[in-house]
Amino acid sequence: MTGSAVNNAPLHATRTDAPDTDSAPRIGSVPGAITPVGTTVSVRVPGSTGNVGPGFDSLGLALGHYDTVTLTRIERGLEFDLSGEGAAGVPRGPEHLVIRAMQAAFDAAGAGELPPLRLRAHNAIPHGRGMGSSASAVVAGVLAANALLPASHRLSPDAVLQVCSHMEGHPDNVAPTLLGGLTISYEDEGRFHSVPVRVHPDVVPVVAVPDFEVATSVARGLLPEMIAHRTAAVNAGRAALLVAALGERPELLVPATFDLLHQPYRAQAMAPSCELMTRLRDLGHAALISGAGPTVLTLANGAEHAGRVAAAIEEIAADAASSAHEYQGRTVTWRVHVLRVPEEGAKVSVSTQ
């Protein structure tokens, strides 16, 4: 067995013509230069949170909660070995998101059909909770496919970001998953750009993951088509402040995470989460809805503060009078994880027999 690392360069990306990712993936013949049967590609991919506080569709933060995806070239067919979060509910066929992402990468590279593969995946990132599970699957698939391609067909870092962002619809989750840390993303005349920003080492994410899901499409559908100029101005100032708070001034995280643009409108879809977020903020903690929810993310300032946040979450969740404890006649269960912000994004390794 021999192994080699695949370098993941920083991405300051522009969008090229996007591939057609809606067509069904194809499993079959490939160019002769493809890596041989027995080649294994492993990808360790972090979760992420998008829409960070006031940074709707623009700020993304990597979360040190990882899925592991391993693809092996086999003689024929398409095989699956799936475990962990959501494994029972995902398809075991060409429509699996990792396989679709791999085919999108092959299409972008002009490499034709995917070869026969065995997909082994262990998921730690919960599905439908606003922690970037779909972005992580897309990134894992595109990076794995790229590693299987011959050097002459391999996608550039720019192109990797474009394929991933096209599949997700925007880059605010895939960019931190690829790069680590904080990313600022935007689209300009059909081109995606993402710039990484170092996060202060004292910033500690604490996530409270509820036992219910909210579809991103439902959460996005609650947003108004227009907002007041004053609201936009307030959010712009807080988003700018958040970049400074995450990078250099974590003591400013509470005012920097104030949002008027998306979280208030989504409250009706996740009342327990909004109750927990509001009570944490009332206690002086920088709590926000992670992505489209319903996970509540609190950005603590140091390990000691993170411990106090975790204790506060448990106390609020135990309060029988709170909708964070009981909602619509049932008890809400929360899983609390104290994480870190990884400085690096997804890591790829390749081995051959």
- The reply to whether 133 sits in an annotated binding site is yes
How many residues are there in the chain?
A: 353
Could you say which residues of the chain have pLDDT below 70? Answer: 1-34, 353
The residue to which tokens 């679709």 are assigned: 100
- pLDDT at res. 32: 46
162 burial type by CB count under 10 A (0-12 exposed, 13-18 middle, 19+ buried)? buried
This prediction has a pTM of 0.89
Q: What pairs with residue 40 in β-bridges?
A: 72, 351
- pLDDT at res. 33: 58
- pLDDT at res. 38: 94
- The reply to whether 126 sits in an annotated binding site is yes
- The reply to whether 129 sits in an annotated binding site is yes
Domain spanning 2-196+342-352, CATH architecture:
2-Layer Sandwich (3.30)
Q: 154: Cβ–Cβ under 8 A, 6 or more apart, which residues?
A: 109, 146
Contact yes or no for 196/180 (Cβ under 8 A): yes
What are the pLDDT digits (tens) for 227-274? 999 999 999 999 999 999 999 999 999 999 999 999 998 888 899 999
- The reply to whether 136 sits in an annotated binding site is yes
Q: Which of 271, 273, 268, 243 is nearest to 257 (CA)?
A: 243
Contact yes or no for 294/306 (Cβ under 8 A): no
Helix (H, G, I), strand (E, B) or coil at 128: coil
- The reply to whether 4 sits in an annotated binding site is no
- pLDDT at res. 17: 37
- pLDDT at res. 24: 40
- The reply to whether 134 sits in an annotated binding site is yes
Q: 241: Cβ–Cβ under 8 A, 6 or more apart, which residues?
A: 252, 255, 256
Residue 78 structure tokens: 């398409």
- The reply to whether 302 sits in an annotated binding site is no
Contact yes or no for 264/283 (Cβ under 8 A): no
- The reply to whether 240 sits in an annotated binding site is no
Every domain of the chain and the residues it spans = 2-196+342-352, 203-338
What are the pLDDT digits (tens) for 164-213? 999 999 999 999 999 999 999 999 988 899 999 999 999 999 999 999 98
- The reply to whether 42 sits in an annotated binding site is no
Domain spanning 203-338, CATH architecture:
2-Layer Sandwich (3.30)
Do strands 191-197 and 330-331 pair parallel, antiparallel, or not at all (unpaired)? unpaired
Contact yes or no for 10/187 (Cβ under 8 A): no
- The reply to whether 128 sits in an annotated binding site is yes
* Domains 2-196+342-352 and 203-338 equal at CATH topology level: no
- The reply to whether 127 sits in an annotated binding site is yes
